[in-house]
Amino acid sequence: MNSNKNQLKFSKMHGLKNDFMVVETLTQNFFFTKKIIQNFSNRKTGIGFDQLLIIEYPKIKNTNFHYRIFNANGSEVEQCGNGARCFAKFVFDKKFINKKTIVVSTKNRILTLQIKDKENILVNMGTPEFQPNKIPLLIKKKKNKYSIEINSKKYSFGAVSIGNPHCVILVKDINLIQVKKIGSIFQNISLFPKQVNVGFMKILNRNEIFLRVFERGVGETQACGSGACAAVAIGVKQNKLSNNVTVHLIGGDIKVNYNLKKKCIFICGPAEHIYDGLVYY
């Protein structure tokens, strides 16, 4: 082994097959760059993951940890609901904390994570933000539904921030929709200056939807927790959904509750540990 190489302990985890490399910087240093993250995320020559989750010491009073999220392309993002559940399982299982209610800060908000049992971790994802300048969406007036014409085709969508920007498009057939093509188009239009996660939602009834999500810096993932929250928040806003919804994703099902009284949205679902590893870089 080259003595000049850095050594890093990590865990591979997933939430509904949305997979992560989890690294704690409480007992070790991680000298990472965009290129290193891209190399780690490569599914042929690296570890392979949708996002890298980094656990740091708390930066804000009355929080237990700070939580950073990087996409496979090395870009840092604000939010990841499936990752938050894996974060909670990791710090509890590795005995970095002995409480089942965990408070963490992210790039732009504070999350409360609650380990209810082996199969269910509850995450308070905070308050959905519909104001265009907070998403951000370059439209002056807030609406429940927006429309845009791209390449002579008209699209209708809802938009919201769950700590990260989302737009949601209603579809009739979840299997026939061109997720990559349309997702890429929306991610590159000037309306979304920080790009956007694009959800494709088919409503089965007021308490049940199918959802596929094309994520910034990753592409289509097996599941997206913040995307599930965004779809439900927009569905409730448009009076198409109740505030308790089962979201069917490619990787499995998740429960979303939009507590209108508290103005907070919650997700509840599993987190799985796959393996622990050691990498030199």
Q: pLDDT averaged over the chain?
A: 95
In a domain, 2, yes or no: no
pLDDT of 104 > 60? The answer is yes
Q: Is 167 a catalytic residue?
A: no
In a domain, 58, yes or no: yes
CATH of residue 275's domain is 3.10.310.10
Structure tokens, 69:
């999220």
275 φ, ψ (degrees, to nearest 5): -165, 165
The CA distance from 34 to 30, in Å, is 12
Residues 200 and 240 in one domain: yes
The CA distance from 59 to 65, in Å, is 7
- Percentage of the chain exceeding pLDDT 70: 99
pTM over 0.85: yes
Is residue 233 within 8 A of residue 271, CB to CB? The reply is: no
Is residue 167 within 8 A of residue 139, CB to CB? The reply is: no
CA angle 178, 180, 186 (to 5 degrees): 100
Q: How many domains does the chain have?
A: 2
Tokens 């104001």 appear where? Answer: 131
Residues 108 and 156 in one domain: no
* Residue closest to 128 by CA, chosen among 251, 254, 255, 228: 228
- Select which of 80, 86, 167, 229 is catalytic: 80
Residues 80 and 171 in one domain: no
Is residue 124 within 8 A of residue 107, CB to CB? The reply is: no
Whether omega for the bond prior to residue 270 falls within 30 degrees of 0, making it cis, is: no
Residues 24 and 145 in one domain: no
Is residue 213 within 8 A of residue 184, CB to CB? The reply is: no
Q: What is the pLDDT of residues 119-155, one digit of tens each?
A: 899 999 999 999 999 999 999 999 999 999 888 889 9
Structure tokens, 232:
């439900």
Residues 238 and 274 in one domain: no
Q: What is the pLDDT of residues 267-281, one digit of tens each?
A: 999 999 999 999 988
Is 147 in a helix, a strand, or coil?
A: strand
Task: Give the mean pLDDT of 65-92.
Answer: 95
223 φ, ψ (degrees, to nearest 5): -165, 155
Residues 251 and 276 in one domain: no
pLDDT (0 to 100) of residue 281: 86
Residues 223 and 151 in one domain: yes
Half-sphere exposure in the Cβ direction for 253 (13 Å, CA): 7
pLDDT (0 to 100) of residue 181: 94
CB atoms within 10 A of CB 152: 5
Residues 52 and 155 in one domain: no
pLDDT of 1 > 70? The answer is no
pLDDT of 3 > 60? The answer is no
Q: Is 80 a catalytic residue?
A: yes
Q: What is the pLDDT of residues 156-176, one digit of tens each?
A: 999 999 999 999 999 999 999
Strand 153-161, strand 146-150: pairing:
antiparallel
Residues 41 and 27 in one domain: yes
**E strands along 144-281, which residues?**
146-150, 153-161, 165-170, 197-205, 208-215, 219-221, 244-249, 252-259, 264-269, 272-280
Residues 90 and 185 in one domain: no
In a domain, 1, yes or no: no
Q: Sorting pLDDT into bands at 50, 70 and 90, what band is 4? A: low
CB atoms within 10 A of CB 145: 13
Half-sphere exposure in the Cβ direction for 52 (13 Å, CA): 29
pLDDT of 259 > 80? The answer is yes
- Select which of 86, 167, 224, 229 is catalytic: 224
Which domain does 39 fall in, by range? Answer: 7-125+270-280
The CA distance from 52 to 40, in Å, is 9
Residues 137 and 226 in one domain: yes
Residues 121 and 140 in one domain: no
* Single-letter amino acid, residue 173: D
Q: Sorting pLDDT into bands at 50, 70 and 90, what band is 2? A: low
Is 200 in a helix, a strand, or coil?
A: strand
